[in-house]
Structure 1
Amino acid sequence: MKSSLRIAAGIAGAVAGFIGTIGLLELTGFGNRADPITTGLLAVFVIAPCGAIAGLVLATKLTTRKDANAGSLTRNSLKSLGIVALLCVAGAVTYLLYAYATATPWLNRNGSNPLLVFEVRFPAGVTVPTSAQGITIELQTDLNTMPGEVTPAAFYRDGDQPVIAGEVELAFRTSHRQLAVNIQGQPSRIYPIDLTAWAPHTPEFGTWRRLADGSEIRYRAKWPGQT
C-alpha cells in the first residue's frame, strides 16, 4: 500500500512538474517570439518533460522513508515513470483515434446518409397545398445546404390545423442546422433544428417547437436500416 502511495505521489509530481515548468517558461518569457512553433515544441517535448521527471523524483523522495535505501527510491521512481509513459501513450492513441474518426465532417462515410424526418403543423386558416407542388424544403447548415422532399401521402389535419411531412438528408456532422420551409405565396419559415452534431437515431418524434407565427415543427433523426 505504501509503495502504491509513493508511486501515485510520483505520478502527481510528474504532472505538477510538467505544468509548473510550462508556467515558469511562460512567466519568464522563454523562447524566440518570432518563432513560436519551435519554441513551443522545445518547451513541450524537451524542457517540460525534464521538469516532469524532476517533479516525479522529488515527490517520490518526499514520500519515501528517510531510512529507505537508494534502490527503493529508484524503483518507485521508475515505476511512476513507467505509468506516466503508459498514460501518455494511451492519451496519444486516444487522440489519434478521435482525430481519425473526425477527420471529415461526414456523418456516415460508409453508406447512405441519415435522414431528418419532420412534420410541420400550421395554424388554423393557413392554406397548405395538398401536393408537393408549391412547397420547397431546404436544410441549411454552416457546412452545406440540402434540398428536402415532402411526402404528400403523409399530410394530415390535426383538428383544423394542416400538417405537412417530409424528409431531408443529414450529410454533415454539425450542430448548426435549420430547416427552411417555403410555401408559394407565403413568407419563408425557418425552423431551428436542435440535434447534436452526430444526430443519433430516434424512433419517435420529439415535441412540437413553435415559431412566432404560430406554426410548429417536430422531427427526429432516422439512420439507415432503422425505423
Structure 2
Amino acid sequence: MKSSSRIAAGVAGALAGYVAVFLLFSLLDLGNRADPIASGLLALFVYSPIGAIGGAVLASWLVSRPGKDASNGSVARNSLKSLGVVALLCVAAAGTYLAYAYATATPWLNPNAANPLLVFEVRLPPGGTAPISPQSIAVELQTDINTMPAELTPTGFRRDGEQAVITGEVELAFRTAHRQLAVNIEGQPSRIYPIGLSARAPYTAEFGTWRPLPDGSEIRYRAKWPGKS
C-alpha cells in the first residue's frame, strides 16, 4: 500500500479514535459529576487526544502489518505523519473559526478605517415651504443594530420647482441591510424612508433615483466611502 494511503488510513483512525473515546467518556459518564465543565474539557483535550493517538497507531499497524508491504514505512512513522496531518487540520479549522468569529462578532462595515457615509437628499411634498432653519429638522438613521443622528448640510438646501429639498449625511457603521431614515420636521408629520442599500453599502458616485413616499415626499441617496469623492 502506498505511503499516502497509509497516512490517510492513520488520519481516519485518529479521528475515529478521538470521537470514540469522547463518546465513551460521555455515555459512561466517567467524569466528575460535580464539575461537568472540567470533565468536558478533560475529555476534549486529554482523553480524546489519547484515543486519537491510539486510533492512528492501530490503523497504521493494520495497513502495515506483514503481508501488507510494510517495507515502505514503519508503523511509528506512519502514525506520526497521520497525527501531524490531523494536527494541521485542527489548526486550520481553529483558524478558520476564529477568523469567522472575529469577522461576525461585531459586523463593522469598515473596521480598519473611517466609516462610510450615507449622503441623502429629501424632497418634501409640493407646495410646502422650506424649513425655517436646520434646527427645526431632526434626521436619524435607524438599523437593527444601532441608531445614528445625521448631520444636515444647509448649504445644499434648495427648492426644486414647488418642492423644498433638504440634504445631509450620516455614518454607516455596521454591515446590515435593515436601514431606514427617520426625518422629523417641526410642524410636519414624521416620515420614515426605507434605505435600499445592500448590507455592505457599496460606493456609488451618483445619487440613485428618487424614491417616493405616499405623502408625496421623496428621497434619493448614495454611499460615500473614505478616500472617494
Q: Same fold (TM over 0.5)?
A: yes
CA deviations over 1:73-100 (Å, ceiling 9, x no partner): 3222211111222233344455556666
State the one-letter code of the partner of 2:170.
V
> Is the 2:181–2:192 Cα contact (8 Å) retained in structure 1?
yes
User: 1:221 corresponds to which letter in structure 2?
Assistant: A
What residue is the counterpart of 1:35 in the other structure?
A: 35
Establish whether residue 12 from structure 1 lines up as the match of residue 12 from structure 2.
yes
| Identity, % of aligned positions | 65
Q: Partner of 1:80: helix, strand, or coil?
A: helix
Which of residues 77, 87, 90 is equivalent to 2:89?
87
CA-to-aligned-CA distance 1:9-46 (integer Å, 9 cap, x gap): 33233334434444444444453454332122112111
Contact 2:126 2:216 in 1 (8 A): no
Matches within 5 A, 1:61-210: 61-64=61-64, 67=67, 68-69=69-70, 71-94=73-96, 112-120=114-122, 125=126, 127=128, 129=130, 132-141=134-143, 144-154=146-156, 164-171=166-173, 173-175=174-176, 177-193=179-195, 195-196=198-199, 199=200, 201-204=202-205
How far, CA to CA, are the matches of 1:206 and 1:53 in structure 2?
A: 61
Query: Computing the radius of gyration over CA atoms, which structure comes out larger, 1 or 2?
Result: 2
Distance 1:104 1:220 in 2: 24
1:174 to partner: Cα distance: 5.0
Shift in alpha-carbon separation, 1:35–1:182, aligned structure 2, 3 A: farther
The superposition leaves residues 196-217 of structure 1 with CA deviations (integer Å, 9 ceiling, x where unpaired) of 3xx3542255677676767665
Can you give the 5+ residue segments of structure 1 that lack an aligned partner in the other structure? Answer: none
Cα distance in 2 for partners of 1:50, 1:127 equals 78
Q: CA RMSD in A?
A: 4.1
Whole-angstrom CA distance in 2 between matches of 1:202 and 1:16: 49
Q: Distance in 2 between matches of 1:16 and 1:214?
A: 67
Q: Distance in 1 between matches of 2:20 and 2:114?
A: 49
d(CA) in 2 for partners of 1:36, 1:210: 59
| Alpha-carbon distance change, 181 to 75 in structure 1, aligned in 2, over 3 angstroms | same
- Taking the aligned partners of 1:220 and 1:30, their CA distance within structure 2 comes to 61
Match of 1:140, SS state, is strand
What's the counterpart of residue 45 of structure 1? Answer: 45
TM-score (norm 2): 0.68
Distance 2:153 2:108 in 1: 26
Contact 2:130-2:165 at 8 Å conserved across structures = no
Which residue identity does 1:87 align to in structure 2?
L
Distance 1:75 1:116, change over 3 A: same
CA deviation digits over 1:156-197, x for unaligned, max 9?
7889876644211234x453644322222333333455543x
Aligned residues: 223
Secondary structure, counterpart of 1:51 in structure 2: helix
CA distance in 1, matches of 2:42, 2:64: 32
Letter in 2 for 1:146: M
Normalization by structure 1: what TM-score? Answer: 0.69
